[in-house]
Structure 1
Amino acid sequence: MSQKRHYSASDIKVLEGLEPVRLRPGMYIGSTSSKGLHHLVYEVVDNSIDEALAGVANTIEVIIYEDGSISVRDNGSGIPVEKHPQTGRSTLETVLTILHAGGKFNNDAYKVSGGLHGVGVSVVNALSEWLIATVHRDGYEFTQEFSRGNVVTELQKGKKVSDTGTEIKFKPDFEIFETLDFEKEILITRFREMAFLNKGIKITLEDKRDNTKVEFHYEGGIKSFVEYLNRNKNPLHSDVIYIEGEREGSYVEIALQYTDSYSENVLSFANNIHTSEGGTHLVGFRTALTRTINDYGRKYNLIKEKDDNLQGEDAREGLTAIISIKLSEPQFEGQTKAKLGNSESRGVVESALGEGLSTFLEENPKVAKIIIDKAQSSARAREAARKARDLTRKRSILDNTPLPGKLADCIETDIGINEIFIVEGDSAGGSAKGGRDSNFQAILPLRGKILNVEKARLDRALSSDEIKNMITAFGTGIGSEFNIDNLRYGKIIIMTDADVDGAHIRTLLLTFFFRYMRELIEKGHIYIAQPPLYGILKGTKVVRYCYDEKELEKSLDELGRGSNLKVQRYKGLGEMNAEQLWATTMDPDNRILLKVTLDQDEMVEIDETFNILMGDKVEPRREFIEENAVYAKNIDA
């Protein structure tokens, strides 16, 4: 019989100061990957942005240094340096070494703040190999140094200065992070967004590693943001509609413009934080937009009495919009702040947009008619899509063949186990069917390239047999009827040839999933197979498969180049027999699968990339290809 363990006070470990941050960094910055590394910079920059929101700063300078450190400097009021009444230490040391210490908890200091938990700069200090804080305030320069959250030097009073501001320079801790390499493009995306959301503020990013410098400064604010998002699209009206309002201590800005595209791109922000899951402010926006457009259409008989009201999805087709609300007490759902919960925000946005958009439509009847014509066209397409779905459903019931004829289904129905391969052509489909494990692997061959849905509404997409076959096979439905609970396969694997045509088909499929079945990507169900590009043969037998040229060269060196080896280049999956395809690309024990994911912080860039690659405009696509050609390899080699 085991002896009962004695549990006493000595078993209780008390973490002091910033120890909890170093012990569980993921709780504070999400992860210790590249994402968490860049989050450190955002925390410091957010503090400077708060200074700008308080009206005491208009410039933020960020510098990446060759040793891997980074600095953020603003021309705000400077972190106070006098002794703090609660801690007995300087205020600077207090905010850098104590969690939940900061001016954001005092509404008299910061009426609006992006920070919710007040842990930002202290967390940065805890997770840095070293940090140096420099403050210009009260006519002097003050500095203090820290290491891994601990005080290294006391507060030093230095030279006289005439300006004010704060500089935080730090080097992330190699003991904490998986990578210490700051990616300039990630920071550029974030800083551009911050400059758009805070008109008039100037943010510069200098990179000492390659001696480059970029500047972001937009007097137009979120109007400029919408213009930027639509720069590769075709706007239906020249001017961006801009509305602002203030109520119950909250300030809201809305900018919107319609384009000839068929998808919507509506981004919502609360206190400069991108609320990727929306929230009350987005609900208010959608409600007011649909109601206002319907009211105007009815008033001027643009929507006939016999016609139904336009639905929300009709009113938002082709819409690019930014909703930015700033409030003193934001209530976010969860640590990630992805969804705004303040109930009053719905009314604030709904009121501002309703009044502002009504006035705009009255004063701009030509634009109003363009918007309503666009929405009515969407409504007709929506109704056509509904009839197409109903017809397909009825035929399936009558024919008693609900699954596509070309689908080679699997036995297993548990989506925790089963998977479906989407392959191009009958040849590859034949090899895949012959090589698969039919217990859990289904095969759906496509005939050629599917419809480019970036240039087509849902009703036209549903006229494509290939798209209908996929929808039926997956079981989820599409559009307003999409239900991920009905998904029939846990993994949907795109398996195309490793050539230009294969890459094009893969992009067409990803565009379809992104535009019409995005939840499949968000829930981690979409994968890309990685068939080998080369086979090294000795006689007629393949002795090794290689997935890129680097691996090929290494393998040839290892096997001995002068030993009667031949290299076979696989341009198509059909060139492999069933056994080879199974061994290299379909066998779970040996294959390489790439999981398709969506980073909500990069949704603007993802949306833009699909629009450039698959949209109507040729020039942006040509520029994209030229800029990224250096990263392409093994294309039709």
Structure 2
Amino acid sequence: MARKKTSNAEYDGHEIKILEGLEAVRKRPGMYIGSTSASGLHHLVYEVVDNSVDEALAGFCTKINVTIHPDNSITVVDNGRGIPVDKHPQRKIPTLEVVLTVLHAGGKFDNSAYKVSGGLHGVGISVVNALSKRLVVQVKRDGSIYEMEFSRGATVEKMKVVGKAKGTGTTVTFWPDDEIFETTSFDFETLRNRMQEMAFLNRNLKIVLTDERELAPRVEEFCYSGGIVDFVKFLNDGKELVGDIKTPIYMSGRSEEGAPVERTGEVEVALQWNAGYGETVMSFANNIYTPEGGMHLEGFRTAITRVINDYARKQGILKDKDKNLEGSDVREGLSAVVSVKLADPQFEGQTKAKLGSSFMRPLVMKTVSDGLAEYLEEHPKQARAIVNKASSAAKARQAARKAREATRRKGLLESASLPGKLADCSVRDPAMTELFIVEGDSAGGSAKMARDRSTQAILPLRGKILNVERVGPHRALSSDTIQSLVTAIGTGVGDEFNIEKARYHKIIIMTDADVDGAHIRILLLTFFYRYMRPMIDAGYIYIAQPPLFQLKPKGRRKGTYIYTDEELAEQVKDLPPKSYSVQRYKGLGEMDPEQLWETTMEPKNRILLQCHVEDAAAAERAVSDLMGTQVERRKEFIQSHAKDARFLDI
């Protein structure tokens, strides 16, 4: 008999649900893999590969094969020790089954099986199992091949011996559950970038990625004897180098003998300056990218600033009357990788975005201080070029600050004097408001008429925004267009940037669906990436997706809005040619306010793409290749991505 629904006053234990085992993962997958979008889908692969990489860190695995099959299943093969298959002392079932079906079960909780590991919570492979409609695992150990099969986290086939084996290792094949994920189609480039990154971070580990979905399978192999030195070379590929430092500066260190296990670690740092204005410093802890940095990054930044200032003073490059170089000066044009390995890393949250292990700060500081000071002493020509680069950055910073202060005195940057073209909204809570950045007065006029005046602000831009990748901060921040943008958003830039002062939590780039519109989008994204990166990381930057077409049946006033060429082809394939008309929207100004509102601005109907940096190295290369000064790099990028073009105006 159904139990009567309780009122608030009768709220009791019957209302508290307990999700057993992997049921919790299927109920709330975002807690474990971030999302059920393409990002979460690819996270499944990373979880399996990370287990194999942990075997490499332990010294037992030298090769990992990752294969995308035609049905979008994934196989990961390693030559590590193989997951244990003996009976688990507590569960009394094969340890292999425990690892695949029990959350928080793994060999990473003490230091006997793994001295260093990226997986700490024991949830990785079991989460993959829970979110796969089918998973088959084979283990080679003790001369035999053991196999088990699962479905959505449940055991389908008990462990059995299926053959004899030479060597050891683990093979995992899984089929992502289409009941969970928005898409089950893997992107080769996304996996390629991650596999290459893992190979850079683990010297001499070979990772082979194969895509069997095409007639001629695509195979890419990554193995780097130089490790993170090769990583920095990759980041600076095609860029003009400072001081003719052809090989990145490398330094390493480790904890002193006798230190407690929980306070032991190793440090590797590679760095090199280029003639650009951006900073690319990537930090990792146990192969896990830490986008928010942490103690290891703090130690690196403190050391590099101190050492270069000390050297500049000692050599008389900085005089007594001169102020010290700031961290941003020293890091202008810097590409660096900071990689630490530690036995018991303390991360902030399951996302592991920030390393909190405090003992790594002094360890990294000492390693970088000793290594960089020695390099500068032994290479005076290169050292002077590095200091001169930082000194030029300091002068530009001071000039930019004076320009901003002069602008303030004119009242242009005061909050009471927002840009004249900004049509602001009436609500003041930034969590409820959004700013549409549009190109030109025509689109701006339509957007102003279409908007919800309480929560939607409009800022029209005149002409193309400056390409900030090719100019220094002084010139970039002197641009009237950029000043208007910074003023409207409210956060400031550079050392004055404060995301808490953001006046809107949605910044929506709304440009025409043509080549010029695409150019303006990439220019704006480059600005946000270089000068307001925390806005991207916070999820505040979006791209509007206006329709490309309106398909209208003959004799009717309203039609259907269509957003892609493929969708249009599908819609018209069964229609007689004379029964409809197609309007192509090349510009937002071609839409009347009502159309613009219902297709692109109305929150219930519109499509927005949220910008985020999924792979920092790939993002850096893309910005540099597309917007930098190297024409050949841009040509290669365009040729390799030409097939992905959404539209061409010829």
TM over 0.5: yes
Q: How does 1:559-598 map to 2 (within 5 A)?
A: 561-562=577-578, 567-576=582-591, 581-582=596-597, 584-588=599-603, 592-598=606-612
Q: Distance in 1 between matches of 2:419 and 2:64?
A: 58
Contact 1:28–1:123 (Cα < 8 Å) also in 2: yes
Counterpart residue number, 1:229:
235
Q: Deviations 1:1-21 (Å, cap 9, x if unpaired)?
A: 97974956x877665544433
Give unpaired runs (5+ residues) of structure 1: none
Q: How does 1:595-634 map to 2 (within 5 A)?
A: 595-599=609-613, 601-634=614-647
Q: Distance in 1 between matches of 2:446 and 2:109?
A: 64
Q: 1:425 to 1:194 in 2, by over 3 A?
A: same
Q: Deviations 1:597-632 (Å, cap 9, x if unpaired)?
A: 213x32222222111111101111112112222222
Specify which of 115, 127, 137 is matched with residue 123 of structure 1: 127
Identical residues among aligned pairs (%): 57
1:303 Cα deviation from its structure 2 partner: 1.4
Q: How does 1:277-426 map to 2 (within 5 A)?
A: 277-396=292-411, 402-426=417-441
Three-state SS of the structure 1 residue aligned to 2:619 is helix
Contact 1:571–1:636 (Cα < 8 Å) also in 2: no
Q: Distance in 1 between matches of 2:309 and 2:328?
A: 13
1:138 equivalent to 2:142? Answer yes
1:244 equivalent to 2:252? Answer yes
Q: 1:400 to 1:271 in 2, by over 3 A?
A: closer
What amino acid is the match of 2:109? F
Contact 1:424–1:448 (Cα < 8 Å) also in 2: yes
Counterpart residue number, 2:68:
64
Contact 2:435–2:504 (Cα < 8 Å) also in 1: yes
Contact 2:55–2:61 (Cα < 8 Å) also in 1: yes
Counterpart residue number, 2:486:
471
1:331 Cα deviation from its structure 2 partner: 0.6
Q: Distance in 1 between matches of 2:522 and 2:451?
A: 24
Three-state SS of the structure 2 residue aligned to 1:155 is strand
Q: For this pair of structures, how many residues does the alignment match?
A: 633
Counterpart residue number, 1:49:
53
Counterpart residue number, 1:216:
222
Q: 1:124 to 1:305 in 2, by over 3 A?
A: same
1:78 Cα deviation from its structure 2 partner: 2.2
Q: Distance in 1 between matches of 2:75 and 2:48?
A: 9
Q: Distance in 1 between matches of 2:338 and 2:211?
A: 32
1:73 equivalent to 2:77? Answer yes
Contact 1:454–1:511 (Cα < 8 Å) also in 2: yes
Contact 2:194–2:615 (Cα < 8 Å) also in 1: no
Three-state SS of the structure 1 residue aligned to 2:199 is helix
Specify which of 471, 493, 500 is matched with residue 515 of structure 2: 500
Counterpart residue number, 1:192:
196
Q: Distance in 2 between matches of 1:256 and 1:187?
A: 25
Three-state SS of the structure 1 residue aligned to 2:620 is helix
What amino acid is the match of 1:256? L
Q: Distance in 1 between matches of 2:46 and 2:569?
A: 42
Q: Distance in 2 between matches of 1:79 and 1:399?
A: 62
Q: 1:199 to 1:554 in 2, by over 3 A?
A: closer
Counterpart residue number, 1:113:
117
Q: Deviations 1:207-244 (Å, cap 9, x if unpaired)?
A: 23222222111111000111111113222221110101
Counterpart residue number, 1:511:
526
Give unpaired runs (5+ residues) of structure 2: 1-5
Contact 1:134–1:141 (Cα < 8 Å) also in 2: yes
Q: Distance in 2 between matches of 1:321 and 1:3?
A: 56
What amino acid is the match of 1:252? V
Contact 2:136–2:172 (Cα < 8 Å) also in 1: yes
What amino acid is the match of 2:191? L
Q: Distance in 2 between matches of 1:48 and 1:603?
A: 22
Tell which deviates more after alignment, 79-88 or 435-444: 435-444
What amino acid is the match of 1:596? Q
What is the alpha-carbon root mean square deviation over aligned residues? 2.9
Tell which deviates more after alignment, 378-387 or 447-456: 447-456
Three-state SS of the structure 1 residue aligned to 2:170 is strand
Q: Distance in 2 between matches of 1:430 and 1:174?
A: 43
